[in-house]
Amino acid sequence: MNQQVSLIKEKYESLVPVFNARMRRLWAATETRALGRGGITQVARATGMARATVRAGLRELRAGPDSEASTPSGRVRRPGGGRKRLTARDPQLTAALQRLLEPVTRGDPMSPLLWTCRSAARLAQELRQAGRPVSKRTVNRLLQELGFSLQANRKTLEGQQHPDRDGQFRHLARRVLAFQRLRQPVISVDCMQKKLLGRYRNVGREWRPRGCPAPMKVQACMDQSLGKSIPYGVCDVGANLGWVSVGADHHTTEFAVETLRRWWRQMGQATYPLARRLLVTADGGGSNSSRSRLRKLELQGLADELQLVISVCHLPPGTSKWNQIEHRMFSHITQHRRGRPLVSREVVVQLIGATTTAQGLRMASALDEHKYPLGRRVAEAEMEALKVKRDKFHGEWNYHLSPRQ
């Protein structure tokens, strides 16, 4: 859109010396027709004309040259005629508006684009109270001329970055490629956002008869009889398969490792019958914490049970959204269940299990009704019995658990 506005502005500046008021109006209307939807806004922004003037030109084009709506030939407004702008009658109007904006202006002072947390209607009201009659539309135009614009928040600040962040990503990529060359399973794990169960509003829309939206509760308070769903997922990166266990108790490390066990029994063992190693990629917080002693203990038990060497690579701190499961699985699940109330855990399981993509993603899901109490502690003797080997590069993020005989 900015390129179109610049092009229109360039053409207008080259033609305006030979145009009178009527020709400028008709030319602007012709450009608006050529642009289609949104043309009035773009032409008005490029030429500085009022939107009402562009609309008047459109009416003249539609009416034709011989109609009453068209200005008779020879009758053209003289240069400088018409109502003067408020800034011409009140030269201090722009300065008064800037004074109102100074305490609430946000943005980099060296940037050409600023934004304010006051609305145009509120600013117009304060100017009128100060004896300067002005409308909201005029305030909008003045704000644009001053370099302001309507902007939403944007997530750009990531906090302090670990010095070995890129190095860990490269290390993780090398490990994934090495496992895939050997046809060994590589999985990405994480927990989806927990959702309240019941007739609560779920973002998104789905097709329903016109005028018949599904009724939902106004207050989103947890129903103690239903609780909430805790979906923990496993994404098989190589086979494009997904598994999700929907928990009913707590999101603990034991629940996360039990999900790995279920995935292996239901999907992984059949997909990789000759597997000897398993690579698990995860973020570094919550039940996947790289500092969790209980997680290492549970993974050691899983390695003993499955007789697999379990290698773990954690993502660097503050990079959980780069976890592959977020983009390859969770986003599609969220899209599939949009606009549908999650009235029970069985409904959550069915919606997740029915998720597919055009790229061949297949999903399976099951309910996990086991109890996972909080506050379990790991003794020093249990940690000393682990058969764990840490990598030379950030062993706290990269380690291997071999089965104990």
Residue 12 confidence (pLDDT): 86
Determine the Cα–Cα distance for residues 218 and 201; give it in Å rounded to an integer: 8
Residue labelled with tokens 């302001």: 148
- Min mean pLDDT across 47-61, 171-185, 245-259 is at 47-61
The mean per-residue pLDDT over the stretch 219-228 comes to: 84
Length of the chain, in residues: 405
Q: What is the pLDDT of residues 143-198, one digit of tens each?
A: 888 888 777 777 777 667 888 999 999 999 999 999 999 999 999 999 999 988 98
Determine the Cα–Cα distance for residues 351 and 309; give it in Å rounded to an integer: 33
Residue that wins the pLDDT comparison between 364 and 8: 364
* Confidence label for 116 from pLDDT (cuts 50, 70 and 90): low
- Residue 68 clears pLDDT 80, i.e. is over it: no
Counting residues of the chain whose pLDDT is more than 90, the rounded percentage is: 46
The string of DSSP codes covering 121-146 is: HHHHHHHHHTT----HHHHHHHHHHT
Residue 174 confidence (pLDDT): 94
The string of DSSP codes covering 29-54 is: HHHHHHH-TTHHHHHHHHH---HHHH
CB of 234 within 8 A of CB of 260? yes
Determine the Cα–Cα distance for residues 386 and 395; give it in Å rounded to an integer: 15
Residue 108 confidence (pLDDT): 55
Residue that wins the pLDDT comparison between 218 and 117: 218
- Residue 296 clears pLDDT 90, i.e. is over it: yes
Closest among 255, 278, 290 to 374, alpha carbons compared: 255
Residue that wins the pLDDT comparison between 212 and 281: 281
Q: What is the pLDDT of residues 25-38, one digit of tens each?
A: 889 999 898 888 88
Residue labelled with tokens 């027709």: 33
Residue 269 confidence (pLDDT): 94
CB of 199 within 8 A of CB of 216? yes
Q: How far is CA 234 from CA 188, 231, 247, 347, in A?
A: 6, 10, 14, 19
**Residue 220 contacts by C-beta under 8 Å, 6 or more apart in sequence?**
196, 200, 201
Average pLDDT, the chain: 87
The mean per-residue pLDDT over the stretch 331-348 comes to: 90
